[in-house]
Amino acid sequence: MTRATMSTATARAACGRCPWTATTANALAIAALHHDRTGHPVHVDLHRRVTYGDSAADAPGQESLTAQLEEAA
Ligand SMILES: [Zn+2]
C-alpha cells in the first residue's frame, strides 16, 4: 500500500534567564549549545505535524492546531 505522508516540525526556544530565543530549524541543537555555554535554563517547544494523504485543503490551519494545543496545556 502506498500512502502519501508529509511531516514537518517547528521549534521555538527561549532562555529562562536572558533574552536569547531561536525559531530556526536547528533550534533544539543551538538551545543545547546556549545552555552549555551559559548554564542558563533553556526551554524548547516543539510542534510536529504529520499528514497522511495529500488533501491539504482538508487540513486544519496551523493557527487552529496551535490554539488547540495551547488550550490543552
Ligand atoms: Zn540565556
Q: Closest Cα partner for 52 from 12, 16, 4?
A: 4
Note the pLDDT tens digit of each residue in 6-35.
999 999 999 999 999 999 989 999 999 999
- How far does residue 13's CA lie from ligand 1's centre (Å)? 11
Per the structure, the count of domains in the chain is 1
CA 24 / ligand 1 centre spacing (Å) = 16
Please report whether residue 41 resides in a domain.
Answer: yes
Residue 66 has pLDDT above 90, yes or no: no
> Which comes out higher in pLDDT, residue 69 or 53?
53
On the question of pLDDT at 65 being above 70, the answer is no
- Whether residue 70 is contained in a domain is answered as no
In-domain check, residue 60: no
User: Within a domain: residue 36?
Assistant: yes
Q: Per the domain annotation, does 38 fall within a domain?
A: yes
Q: Alpha-carbon distance 32 to 21, whole Å? A: 12
49 within a domain of the structure (yes/no): yes
Which residues, by Cβ under 5 Å, contact ligand 1, an ion? 15, 17-18, 20, 38, 40
Question: Does 4 map to a domain?
Answer: yes
Calculate mean pLDDT across residues 39-64. Answer: 82
What range defines the domain where residue 28 resides?
Answer: 1-54
Percent of the chain, pLDDT > 70? 74
Query: 37 alpha carbon to ligand 1 midpoint, in Å?
Result: 9
Cα of 7 from ligand 1 centre, angstroms: 30
Q: Which three cell numbers stand for residue 71?
A: 488550550
Q: Whole-model pTM?
A: 0.63
- Which residues make Cβ contacts (< 8 Å) with residue 68, sequence separation at least 6? none
